[in-house]
Amino acid sequence: MAGSLIKIDEEIVTSAVASVTLTGIDSTYDVYMVKLNNINPTTDGAVFYARVTESGTPNITANYDNAFKGLNANASFGNGYNTNSTVWSEAQVDSTTGNFNAIYYLFNFNNASEYSFITKESAWVLQSTGYLFGYQGGGVFTSASACDGIQLFFSSGNINNGTFTLYGLKK
C-alpha cells in the first residue's frame, strides 16, 4: 500500500474545538480514508458523531443510517443501529481515557447520483470499566448528492485533542 495513500487534509487539535471538518473530496479518487488518532472529548460519556459536508457545509438532515457490531473485552458482542438520524454515531468516550482511534473509508462521496457510504473500524478504552471496546460497521447517507467532506464532533462538550487526517486512495 506504500504510495497509495495521498494526504488531502489534516487537522491537529491541541486545544478544545467544537468540531473538525475535513474537506477536499472530489472526483480525483473513488475511495477516501479518514484516520482518527488519539481523539479525546472534554466531556465524559460523549458520543462521537460524523456527518457529510456539501460545499463545505454539514448536512444535518435525517438521512443517516448506521449499523455496527460492538466488540467488548468484558462482555459478549453486541449489535447497534439507527435509521433516519441526523448523524452517524460511533463510540461513547470518556475524557480521562479517551484515545479513541478509528479508520473510516468513504465511498461515492462525490457522486451526485449515488448515496454516500462509510465503513468504520474503531477502538478505545472506557474509563468506567477499564476495558477495551471496538466497533466495526458502516453507514449510508440516503440522499443522492455530491459530498465534499466530513464533519466530526462529540454529542456534548468539545474535541479536546487528536489528529484527523483525510487521504485519497490512489486508483
Q: Is the pLDDT of residue 1 over 60?
A: no
Per the CB < 8 A criterion, the answer to whether 10 and 33 are in contact is no
Pick the CATH number of 5-169 from 1.10.10, 3.40.50, 2.40.30, 2.60.120: 2.60.120
83/101 Cα distance (integer angstroms): 24
Ordered by start, the domain boundaries in the chain are 5-169
Residue of 109 and 44 predicted with greater confidence: 109
Edge-first strand order for the sheet with 116-126 is 5-13, 159-169, 31-41, 100-107, 116-126, 131-141, 64-72, 78-85
Tens digits of residue pLDDT in 116-133: 999 999 998 877 777 888
Neighbours of 155 (CB within 10 A): 16
User: Does the pTM exceed 0.75?
Assistant: yes
Tens digits of residue pLDDT in 74-110: 888 889 999 999 999 987 787 766 688 999 999 999 9
pLDDT of residue 90: 85
